[in-house]
Amino acid sequence: MNFIKNIRKNLAAMLISLIVGLLIGEVIIRIFFSQFISPVQFYYDSKLGGMVPIPNQKGFKSHPKEYHYEYQNNKIGMRDTRQLSDYQTIPYKILAIGDSFTYGWGVNDDETFCKILERKINKDLVAVLNAVASGAGTDSQIL
């Protein structure tokens, strides 16, 4: 009988110790090792063989003490506030394909090199289409 009580006490002590240890670890991780705070920005597309931006998404990416940027993807997943019908009114288009650098990882929408190029050329005549396959090679980007 005493033996069973000792086992129960030991198990209870181990369980409480484990819970307290995990809570202390959680607090330390949250304070000293900051984590990404944002919605999922890309999804894997098996047809394209890579990560593509989630269509119709507006959000932010934040890593405490490092960066914070806001982004918007249109209906077809390009990083742009314009929709398909808006592109039809612009006579010339430049298609920019690439990876996270082309997408503009770490910068706001108006700070991507696609938007800067568009402003430099003349945004009423030319649209620079920001199409990416983040984290993939040229073969996936062309698809």
Same domain, 75 and 127: yes
Instruction: Indicate whether 20 and 46 sit together in one domain.
Output: no
Greater confidence, 136 or 25?
25
Q: Which of 38, 42, 43 is nearest to 68 (CA)?
A: 38
Q: Are residues 56 and 94 in the same domain?
A: yes
Instruction: Say yes or no: 28 and 83 in one domain.
Output: no
Q: What is the pLDDT of residue 63?
A: 77
Same domain, 49 and 84: yes
β-pairing verdict for 67-72 and 58-63: antiparallel
Tokens, residue 122: 């003349």
27 and 87 within one domain = no
Mean pLDDT across the chain, nearest whole number? 84
- Please give the model's pTM, rounded to 2 decimal places: 0.68
Q: What is the pLDDT of residue 17?
A: 95
Residues 108 and 130 placed together within one structural domain of the fold: yes
- pLDDT higher than 70, residue 97: yes
Task: Say yes or no: 110 and 137 in one domain.
Answer: yes
Mean pLDDT value across residues 88-106: 87
102: domain range? 42-142
